[in-house]
Amino acid sequence: MYQSLEGVHILDQWVGKLKKENEMPKAEETIQFRKMKYTLLEESHAQEKEFYRLKAEKMEYDKEKEQSKIRQEDERLRLEVEKMELAKKESDHRIMMMDVSAMPEMQRLYFEELYDETQSCLRQSTLKIED
Please work out, in degrees rounded to the nearest 5, the angle formed at the alpha carbon of residue 19 by the alpha carbons of 18 and 24: 75
13, part of any domain: yes
- Assign 17 to helix, strand or coil: helix
104, part of any domain: no
Please state the domain count of the chain: 1
45, part of any domain: yes
Mean pLDDT over all residues of the chain? 82
Structural domain including 56 reads 2-77
The reply to whether the predicted model has a pTM over 0.75 is no
121, part of any domain: no
pLDDT of residue 24: 55
pLDDT of residue 6: 65
Of the spans 36-40, 68-72, 99-103, 117-121, which averages the highest pLDDT? Answer: 68-72
113, part of any domain: no
Which residues lie closer than 8 Å to 7 by C-beta, 6 or more apart? Answer: 36, 40
Mean pLDDT calculated for residue range 6-12? 66
